[in-house]
Structure 1
Amino acid sequence: MAMAGRPSVYQPTSYGSRGATERGLTGEGPGPDGRRRARLQSATVGAPLRFGVMYDFRNPAGSGLAMPDLYAQVLDQVSAVEELGYDMVWFTEHHFVEDGYLPSWVPVAGAVFGRTKRLRVGTDIALLPFYHPVRLAEDLAVLDNLSGGRVEMGVGLGYAAHEFAGFGIPVSRRVSLAEEGLDILRLAWSGERFSYHGKRYHFDDLLVTPRPVQPGGPPLWLASMTEAGASRAARYGLDFLPQGKRAVLDLWRSEVTSAGRDPAQRRVGIIRPWLVTDDRERDWPPIRAAERYRMEAYARFFAESETSFSLGGEGAISQNWVIGTPAEVEAQLGDFIEEHGFTDLITHGVPPGMSPEFLCPLRGRDASVKMVPGRARHAVAFLVLRPYRSLVWGPTRRATHCATSTPIRLSYPSWALGLARSMIRRAWGVPLRADSNDVEIDEEETERVLTVAAAVDVAKASGMVCARRPHPSIEGRRTCRVWEVESTTNSILALGVDLVALGVERVVLESTSDYWRPFFYLLEAAGLSVWLVNARDVKQVTGRPKTDKLDAVWLAKLCERGMLRPSFVPPREIRALRDYTRLRTEMVEERSRHKQRLEKLLEDALIKLSSVAADLLGVSARAMIEALIAGERDPKALANLARGKLNTKQAALLEALNGRFDDHHADLARLLLDQIDACSDKIDRLTARIEQLVAELPEPPPPTDRGPRPTTSDVPVEHDPDARRLTTVERLDEIPGIAERAAQILIAEVGLNMAQFPTPAHLVSWAKLSPQTIQSGPKTRVGKTGKGNRYLKGVLGEVATAAAKTDTFLGERYRRLVRRRGKQRALVAVARSILVLVWHLLNDPDARYVDLGSDYYTSRLDPERKTRDLVRQLQALGHTVTLKPAP
């Protein structure tokens, strides 16, 4: 009887019944490339290479596929998988998922064994904390006997919170449940009675039957992307699924070696799907749609987990799809195995609605030449997909990629055809037949793929550069070069020379803090077309790894496909003006903060001067504060310093100035007044410099395509031949609410050349003064305007507030809107109207503002109609109305 507690680590024997020689582990075998074979022999593990297909049984909403049909279809595919030479099928497990994600793999494995003779079945992965280990040991022992020893099981600890909640298991117990489960499985498959007393499970004198066919029970794998998981797999002597983490794989091999075992005799597996095709553009889109759906689901699982998942990163093992011709796929997978030493490669099964006919082997290829030594004449099977269009147009199509494959004649059921049509709609974005509600949309942009594009992922001290250009020998392929550049002037200048030499058509930068400026300025000076893009527009696809290198590659891909919008970066002279106006704005804000501190200090001294004087820094109030600092405490003497209108408030001043102002208040008040004076001096100096820069600005260029000139009913703008004698600031100053300072800020923020904004709507949208329309199904709602440029929105808010108080067209517009929409929305609407006027004045140097008058709206009303409406309203309130003409 085994001792209670954790048993010694079990050393599993070789897989199946073949010995090492029969498995091809000794001898080199024939092959034309001895050097390649020698490198493979040293780099790959000693266990034979196996290929497998993964199924998760997902059935997306709207597929039109019933779950019984889905299960039947997968089992049909499994039969074809065995015929095509694959070694394994793999199942995965998740619970409580709406799309039917496989929750129980054991009964499915039983169905597979009933249909196959050779195929092995494994899991990547089963969630061990959700299984009672004794019951699981019995189930797998029965499967092992039914299959003749073809069962393997990959396990993981789980991470999705909703699954643990569904089984009533605290997430904090997952490690102890999994480790004790591994202990008990080994003891249960020993064929002897055992007792076990752990933290979670307790058994005495237990015998599990039947005894598995495989000595020691079915081989166990552990999946993990953490160092703790790698150590756990090594400690238990388990095969390993590193989940794309090279550092974790290296740690597992190191610890297996430290334990005195040979990691080359263990199995290491990974999902690295492949697609063999002679037409990528035709066959990849539907697979991409299925892959996107799969990754978005995993991203939701990761998001609800308390565990921090670090996907990708430096040294990550690529799990991207390998796509190409048979030779290209074989070469890439061979290099992949040579680099990482995997024994098991797993691809994804055909998505729902496809037939097993579209699985295709590559016959006659000698795998020992490229893939693994000592396994000559292995019929390596790959997955080939015909496009969904073939599925729709013919009921008995054959995969013409495979000249040596045996035709499988199948008739496609209606559900398969329906699913294929729906997936074509999603993948290609076009309907198969015209619908009555179809709308043809004319897009403004013209799609064009750039031949050579580059991108820079900017950081503080460096930038990661990616340049993409066509492959020199393979048509349709592109090469990608990634390197790091320091963010110093000389390094960036050298980068500009390199990019020009490469023939780069466009360089994209992500707007990271102010770190983008050196790259933008210097690359622009090198003659390159440089785009600055908003970081919100270039986010990685959910679930993808996040590294500087991958970010640069992603930016370059978006750039070359024209999927980015450039941010507005004004020319150099406008940038200089903008620096001055923004600093002046910040100085004004800083002066206001010092003024607020001064008011707070006076309140602390019980001096209520701000409640009587409108401006605490006015002539009279400033004189009183200076007298207080000088030592004057008599309220009457202080009140006599009042001038102008404030002099009429002597009684209120006497009460307000009767406080407890002492020496420490005087010291602090002096410091604050000095700060206020310093800010005022800086503001005056900045204003003088701004006026000089504005005067030196060139005249606005004439619009390239003005289109029809606006009429009075469109915007209040008229065309005056004498308008050019006025400066741009003077023409903007004619708009109610805009003064010289506001006009300077508007010019600095939007520039003079309106070519960046083809229409007023473009400028309004860029300034975030137009709400976003959100339409989904029958519902349409108005979203928020967004943040936008705070300097531009700030000055427009001030201008709109000032215009609202005037007896003008804009003032009347505000008063009409405020009754219906409230103050804030009315101010935003007036600010938008002012920005439209600014666009017209900047776009056309001949245009001048003309006020339509505060009676604009009333003058356009029909008097009889207005009278009739008012009479009806009074009658509805119960009044009898008699109309008499005015004398």
Structure 2
Amino acid sequence: MRRVIGMDIHRTFAEVVFWEDGRLRHFGRVDMTRSGLEAFGRGLEKTDEIVVEATGNAMSVVRVLEPYVARAIVANPMQVKAIAHARIKTDKIDAGVLAQLQASGFLPEVWVPDAATERLRRLAARRNQVVRHRTRVKNEVHAILQAHLVPQCPHADLFNQRGRDWLTRQILPEDERLAIARHIREIDRLGDDLAELDADIAKDTVDNPDVARLLTITGVNVTVASGIVAAIGDITRFSEPQKLVSYIGLNPRVRQSGLGLAQYGRISKTGRSHARAMLVEAAWAAAKALGPLRAFFLRIRGKRGHQIAAVAVARKLVVLVWHMLTKKQDYHWLRPALVAAKKRQIALKSGAPSERGVGRRGSAYAYYVKDLRDREMAAAQIAERTYDQMIRRWQPRRPKGCTDATNGERP
């Protein structure tokens, strides 16, 4: 006999409803503690299925209850709300809806990552939080300088040693000077936290083949590569690149009704926002480096502007990532010396010993030889020029069955 258990989970308790023989039965509440969930799990059967909505503690609930049941399923709350909208909403009704949707085969599931992918997602999210916090503190320093008519810093970075020396010579009120000192101490502390998180990410990805493969793309560093791999997880769950584009939220919104033409708008921005932000960051880096991606950026920029061009490059990167991970192939226009330097940086951050002074050349030696580096850049420039020429000669393919006599319409 099949039995489905819906759980509407909160911070301190979970409301539980059983679905069996086509009927719902209210079980009651379960404490949201490890001991309470384990006691509840011991009373279940191995053929049971448990359904919870994706919340902050949903993955922990799934990890605790997985050993006791056949499946522990995480549902997409937005899609559940769209499918089963009710005028009367209680915890008991919500739990029953989850159980009924799973029993009828209409439950919108969320992919549950393995422990390693989940850890990498947490590290990437925490790194993003630290970077955003540090940017916020830096902006506060800039706001203080602007409020007191201090001219722009002549150095490239206000917060490096030369910039800080310049900052100490500016005329400011004493309270503002003390505030800037506090902000700089906070920036230094956040820099230390960022270095620790980078080291943890490097240790988790130093032997990851997918991260190593994405590093072959110009403009993609270890932070972007690890964040993308963490967001994607198992690439086989995306049967085509367009599904991965939609998952990242880089697909355009579409409005179409009846016989009217489809209207395409801005990107949907659904799904993994952190991965989308990193891909746009990588797109800006790729737009500055020689190669086909830069040629694509320049072509779109000439028609639509630089912001839309960056988003278009990010979308192309997603398609490229899907093909590379699915076919297990490196980027065709990779620069071997640059890739070796990236991998060496990951190894050093993960705690690998330095190769200096051991009487042999290190693995990233070629990147620091100007002739070799210039040779790779010349090859990338040829690739960019070749792509540009190919696009100029490209002609759209006519639909099958069309002739000149019908002006593109089927007979």
- TM-score band (shorter)? 0.7 to 0.9
Structure 1 gaps, min length 5: 1-449, 471-476, 634-656, 698-726, 865-887
TM-score (norm 2): 0.76
Q: 4+ runs of 1 displaced by more than 6 Å?
A: none
Aligned to 1:746: 228
For residue 36 of structure 2, the aligned residue among 484, 491, 500 is 491
Q: Distance in 2 between matches of 1:773 and 1:595?
A: 39
Query: Residues 271-282 of structure 1: matches in 2 within 5 Å?
Result: none
Query: Residues 53-202 of structure 1: matches in 2 within 5 Å?
Result: none
Aligned to 2:271: 788
Q: Distance in 1 between matches of 2:226 and 2:155?
A: 31
Is the 8 Å Cα contact of residues 294 and 384 (structure 2) preserved in structure 1? no
Q: Distance in 1 between matches of 2:252 and 2:393?
A: 32
Which secondary structure state, in structure 2, belongs to the residue aligned with residue 853 of structure 1?
A: helix
CA displacement 1:352-407 (0-9 Å, x = unmatched): xxxxxxxxxxxxxxxxxxxxxxxxxxxxxxxxxxxxxxxxxxxxxxxxxxxxxxxx
Q: 2:41 is aligned with what amino acid?
A: G
Aligned to 2:256: 775
Is the 8 Å Cα contact of residues 468 and 478 (structure 1) preserved in structure 2? yes
Aligned to 2:176: 665
For residue 616 of structure 1, the aligned residue among 158, 161, 166 is 158
Q: Distance in 1 between matches of 2:144 and 2:41?
A: 55
For residue 564 of structure 1, the aligned residue among 99, 107, 116 is 107
Aligned to 1:456: 7
Q: 1:508 is aligned with what amino acid?
A: V
Aligned-pair CA distance for 1:785: 1.2
Is the 8 Å Cα contact of residues 807 and 854 (structure 1) preserved in structure 2? no
Is the 8 Å Cα contact of residues 801 and 827 (structure 1) preserved in structure 2? yes
For residue 146 of structure 2, the aligned residue among 603, 617, 624 is 603
| Percent of matched pairs sharing the same residue | 28
Aligned to 2:213: 731
Q: 2:13 is aligned with what amino acid?
A: S
- Structure 2 vs 1, CA of residues 543 and 530 (structure 1 numbering), >3 Å: closer, same or farther? closer
Q: Distance in 2 between matches of 1:772 and 1:764?
A: 12
Which secondary structure state, in structure 2, belongs to the residue aligned with residue 589 of structure 1?
A: helix
Aligned-pair CA distance for 1:860: 5.3
Is the 8 Å Cα contact of residues 482 and 549 (structure 1) preserved in structure 2? no
Is 1:521 matched with 2:67?
no
Q: Distance in 2 between matches of 1:745 and 1:854?
A: 31
Aligned to 2:240: 759
- Structure 2 vs 1, CA of residues 662 and 776 (structure 1 numbering), >3 Å: closer, same or farther? closer
For residue 532 of structure 1, the aligned residue among 51, 60, 74 is 74
Aligned to 1:183: none
- Give the structure with the higher percent helix: 2
Query: Residues 241-390 of structure 1: matches in 2 within 5 Å?
Result: none
Aligned-pair CA distance for 1:543: 5.2
Q: Distance in 2 between matches of 1:525 and 1:824?
A: 48
Is the 8 Å Cα contact of residues 454 and 559 (structure 1) preserved in structure 2? no
Is 1:510 matched with 2:19?
no
Is 1:811 matched with 2:294?
yes
Aligned to 1:239: none
Indicate the larger mover: 489-498 or 855-864: 855-864
Aligned to 2:306: 823
Q: Distance in 1 between matches of 2:176 and 2:24?
A: 70
Aligned to 1:853: 384
Which secondary structure state, in structure 2, belongs to the residue aligned with residue 499 of structure 1?
A: coil
Is the 8 Å Cα contact of residues 120 and 204 (structure 2) preserved in structure 1? yes
Q: Distance in 2 between matches of 1:507 and 1:774?
A: 37
Aligned-pair CA distance for 1:861: 4.2
Q: 2:194 is aligned with what amino acid?
A: I
Q: RCO (CA 8 Å, sep 6+): is it higher in 1 or 2?
A: 2
Q: Distance in 1 between matches of 2:148 and 2:30?
A: 58
Larger radius of gyration: 1
Q: Distance in 2 between matches of 1:488 and 1:544?
A: 31
Is the 8 Å Cα contact of residues 84 and 97 (structure 2) preserved in structure 1? no
Structure 1 vs Structure 2 CA RMSD: 2.6
Which secondary structure state, in structure 2, belongs to the residue aligned with residue 580 of structure 1?
A: helix
Aligned-pair CA distance for 1:696: 5.6
CA displacement 1:822-879 (0-9 Å, x = unmatched): 433332221111112222333343x110135343142354499xxxxxxxxxxxxxxx
- Structure 2 vs 1, CA of residues 488 and 555 (structure 1 numbering), >3 Å: closer, same or farther? same
Aligned to 1:585: 128
Is the 8 Å Cα contact of residues 5 and 99 (structure 2) preserved in structure 1? yes
Is 1:547 matched with 2:90?
yes
Q: Distance in 1 between matches of 2:85 and 2:296?
A: 45
TM-score (norm 1): 0.37
Q: 1:764 is aligned with what amino acid?
A: V
Aligned to 2:342: none
CA displacement 1:156-191 (0-9 Å, x = unmatched): xxxxxxxxxxxxxxxxxxxxxxxxxxxxxxxxxxxx
